[in-house]
Amino acid sequence: MLPQRLNLFAASLCALATMWAHYAFAEREQFILFNLLGNSHSDDFTQISREFKPTPGASVRVGVSAIFSYLRQPREQSVEDLRQFLRRAQETDTPVVVQLDGENWWDARPDLWNWWDPARPGYSPKNRANVEWTGWSADDAIKIAWRNWGQQIRVLPPPNLMSPRYRAACHEEIRVLIPIVLEWWRALPAKKKNLLVGLKLGHESSVGVNAWYYPEGNRLLDRPASEDPTTGLKPDEPPARGVAQIGYAAVKTAGLRKEGRITEADLAEVVRRHVEDLCRLAAELGVPRDKLFTHVGGWKDNELLYEAALNEFSCPGWSFYKYAADPEKAAGVQQVLKRSTAPYWAAVEWLYQGSSDTDRWRQAITATLSSPRCRYLCIFNFDPLRSSEAVLRAVREVAQKSPTP
């Protein structure tokens, strides 16, 4: 019997060693992700899984991310989209980041934002409290805003990030969507657990950047968009950034101040509270810190907004465009990372804006992943790059090198 017991003991040790080695490797693994647009991702999963077959032993894998804007469409559609996304990830063995956004699009919730049009659904004058203002009074509520993600467009007024009704709406959707992700992840076999790279909360969170307001903008609502100003933002001039100052609703609701001039610190604190609140809820729902990432904006070197990405429940994340080729030069990020106790950080929105030369892309990707504790970088977006063989080759070369011993 002794030899049998010794054999069983040896087999158990071998199994434990294998499991430990797997998890130790999983902790060192890094990811290059492509962000996918739209609701139907089947073709994207197919192309990416074919283009970037994992190399045995390699420490970098290629995957995808997608943004689920849970206030933009009915909950049933968000649930179906998310389930389909996770199914395709498992079917194609593709690592994923799930991004939940309740900031930039909230078309499906006129009961929160429609304070001015009785002819449209959701109308209530009380909704002034849920949108941003240009002064300290609800009489200064805005009806329209502008965004430029490649070209200037009109968008709905941005939410008051501190509005209790808005926060409750975000919580309601997150309480539905996050458990779906966790249930899927927990059901994966041990060797597949790293298919969930992370769950991201915030979407370049900020006030007055991804939805800004031109002076007297409400007067333009009923006029043709062709008459809109086109001067745009001055991103490196917080807090107003060259347009009309907004943020009064959030700053006042947060109890930071109710008179005087808004400061850069006021707006950064609003964003910090907003992101931390979402991350606290995610942690309560069971998302471990090493799987939870934030996404905060930052446009001026060392601006205070960078700090809003940091909280005790998550790993910090930022956008990288200007410093995509060398994150070490992003002074605001590096200052925050010195104080971070999180196991990782991520370049959650990343795009090298130089040439499409393979060598330069490879160098930029490598420089980002080489930064200490970087878990992943997410390239925005896959659509314009899907036919760029030079870029795809650069990603392949990074993912196929440096196999672990």
Which tens digit of pLDDT belongs to each residue from 33-54?
A: 999 998 778 889 999 999 998 8
> Mapping DSSP to helix (H, G, I), strand (E, B) and coil, where does residue 136 land?
coil
Q: What is the pLDDT averaged over residues 56-72?
A: 95
Instruction: Select from 3.20.20, 3.30.450, 3.40.50, 3.30.70 the CATH code of 29-400.
Output: 3.20.20
Which distant-in-sequence residues (6+ apart) come within 8 Å of 246 by Cβ? 132, 133, 134, 142, 158, 207, 208, 212, 213
The helix (H) or strand (E) run that includes residue 155 is strand 152-155
**Quick one: which of 244, 201, 241 has its CA closest to 98?**
201
Return the HEC string of 144-188.
CEEEECCCEEEECCCECCCCHHHHHHHHHHHHHHHHHHHHHHHHC
Q: What is the pLDDT averaged over residues 210-223?
A: 97
Q: Residue 261 above 50 pLDDT?
A: yes
The pTM of the whole model exceeds 0.85? yes
CB 315 within 8 A of CB 294: yes
Query: Which band of pLDDT confidence, cut at 50, 70 and 90, is reported for residue 57?
Result: confident
Query: Which band of pLDDT confidence, cut at 50, 70 and 90, is reported for residue 2?
Result: very low
Rounded to whole angstroms, how far apart are CA atoms 288 and 392?
32
pLDDT digits (tens, 9 = 90+) for 135-157: 999 999 999 999 999 999 999 99
Rounded to whole angstroms, how far apart are CA atoms 102 and 322?
26
**Is cis: bond before 54, omega within 30 of 0?**
no
Q: Residue 213 above 70 pLDDT?
A: yes
Which distant-in-sequence residues (6+ apart) come within 8 Å of 13 by Cβ? none
**Range with lowest mean pLDDT among 45-49, 114-118, 127-131:** 45-49
Tokens 């590096």, residue? 334
**Quick one: which of 320, 64, 33, 316 has its CA closest to 202?**
316
**Is cis: bond before 381, omega within 30 of 0?**
yes
Rounded alpha-carbon distances, angstroms, from residue 223 to 67, 100, 345:
32, 33, 44
- DSSP code for 133: B
**Quick one: which of 156, 143, 159, 153 has its CA closest to 228?**
153
Give the residue extent of every domain in the chain: 29-400
- pLDDT: is 4 or 90 the higher one? 90
Which distant-in-sequence residues (6+ apart) come within 8 Å of 182 by Cβ? 285, 286, 287
Structure token pair of residue 244: 């009309």
**Range with lowest mean pLDDT among 30-34, 347-351, 385-389:** 385-389
**Quick one: which of 273, 270, 368 has its CA closest to 313?**
273
Structure token pair of residue 12: 């158990």
The one-letter code for the residue type at 241 is: R
CB 32 within 8 A of CB 346: no
Residue 4: what pLDDT?
A: 53
- State in Å, rounded, how far the first CA of the chain is from the last one: 37
pLDDT digits (tens, 9 = 90+) for 315-351: 999 999 999 999 999 999 999 999 999 999 999 999 9
Backbone angles phi, psi at 327, to 5 degrees: -60, -20
> Which residues partner with 294 through β-bridges?
201
